Amino acid sequence: MSFPPTSITQLHQQLRSGRLSAVEVTRHFLQRIEQTNPQVNAFITVCAEQALQAAAAADRQLATGEAPPLCGIPLAVKDIFNTEGLATSCGSRILHNYISPYDATAFARLKQQGAVLLGKLNMDEFAMGSSNENSASGPVHNPWDLQRVPGGSSGGSAAALAASQALATLGTDTGGSIRQPAAFCGVVGVKPTYGRVSRYGVIAYASSLDQVGPLANTVADAALLLGAIAGYDAADSTSVDCPVPDYLADLNAGVKGLKIGLPQEYFIEGLAPAVKQAVAAAIEVYRSLGAEIVEVSLPRTAYAIACYYLIATAEASSNLARYDGVRFGLREQQDGGLLQMYEQSRAAGFGAEVKRRIMLGTYALSSGYYDAYYLKAQKVRTLIREDFNRAFEQVDLLLTPVAPTTAFALGEKTDDPLHMYLSDIFTVPVNLAGTCALSLPCGRDGQLPVGLQLIGKPFAEAQLLQAAQAFESATDWHLQRAPLA
């Protein structure tokens, strides 16, 4: 067994038995970050002193014999989560030197279990991007090939796992920002149903689409993390008061008799041959495990990207209006009036992609265009949700690729925003529908991982995780580690 184990469950057993201490494990990961972060750039902030203090407290709790499963487990969170006393930049200059006065609910729930925070993870600025190249802290590099992107916007969350810099991470998913990086970096990433996990304390991009979720090395670890962060939160008006099952209880229930749908619109021309081959092989694995494979249709899929980039940018335009240089963050100290200070602070603080999306959203919401763009996009969103509802009347789950290709080269798509946006063609519809989905490794394109997407009914994360566990148990893709690891 490697030191430390790559599974939370295995590490927890060793911590409880006293074979390892939380401080010892934390020092290992801090050293690992120091050695590899110059190559990967997954961490924006490393909080070594606080981590060692939290690890010492975890050791004291472990000594009582009554420690929860995440006690002493080293993890990191995307820099979009507010964390008390630590810098939270959201990958942007506009939040320069912003120190959060409170914890986001999802992180607070992990901290209550005694988890050890190693630091804050790099991301596309304000979660706007599919490659993690839109960051004021520089691009993240994929541990499988340092000349390629890790995916975005939670690229740091996926790359840190793939580089063995943490044992678990949290990310956010607005249009695929957990699932696509998980696929590109060969790890497991879960996008829960909208309302399943509190968004309180998470810096907003598009409030009707954003969702918090875990990334981990195994399905079981992801299930454990989701169980820890899920549940109603009165501080979040979009949180749904729905019971949270024990996701580990029936994790090995299998898929025999389950109906899995293949949406014909997701198996299109332009799908990379290696991705197509890996997903086809995964389908055969499910068939051999006793699942029934059924073809279904999601006919409005073609409109999802256009719909998403109207709704998301409109909401971003509204949400990002608060960054004005007055109350917190960057303020350009220039001569002139208040309006000039606003303009100069926002011009210097926001990157090119964020400015592009603010302008698109402001235009879509402007007088004379609201009905033609934003309102029409909301109507199309309803139709896309109805497509999923009809499909789920026929099947239990949907199976698709995560992305049309594997990780692309750094700089390959930066000059062509539309080409970049199409990287999320298979993930965006899930966010518009508000249902749950996950990505797990299912193959290779040369050295690069291929991701498989499973999509579940609203609040059916337990069934989704069971199906993922069945595939993981029948294959060994999750055991294969990046060269840098």
From the candidates 153, 154, 164, 198, give the one annotated as an active-site residue. Answer: 153
| Contacts for 33 with CB less than 8 Å, ≥ 6 apart | 43, 46, 118, 119, 165
Single out the residue of 4, 59, 69, 52 nearest to residue 32, CA to CA: 4
Question: Residue 426's closest CA among 44, 127, 194, 151?
Answer: 151
Lay out the sheet containing 212-216: strands in order across.
Answer: 43-46, 116-121, 74-78, 168-172, 212-216, 188-191, 436-445, 448-456, 397-401, 259-263, 292-296
Torsion region of 299: left, alpha or beta (phi above 0 gives left; psi -120 to 50 gives alpha): alpha
Q: Is 13 exposed, middle or buried (0-12, 13-18, 19+ CB in 10 A)?
A: middle
Q: For this structure, is 276 an active site residue?
A: no
Q: How far apart are CA 437 and CA 285, in angstroms?
A: 19
Catalytic member of 7, 177, 198, 345: 177
Taking 3-state DSSP, the helix, strand and coil percentages for the chain, each rounded to the nearest 5, stand at: 45, 15, 40
Tell me whether residue 89 is one of the annotated catalytic residues.
Answer: no
**Chain centroid to CA 371:** 32
- C-alpha–C-alpha distance, residues 305 and 299, integer Å: 13
- Strand-pairing partners, residue 388, are none
Of these residues, 21, 78, 130, 345, which one is catalytic?
78
> Largest Cα–Cα distance of the chain, in whole Å?
71
Distance CA 361, CA 317 (A): 5
- The sign of the torsion formed by the CA atoms of 249, 255, 259, 262 equals positive
Residue 345 annotated among the catalytic residues of the structure: no
Known catalytic residues?
78, 153, 177
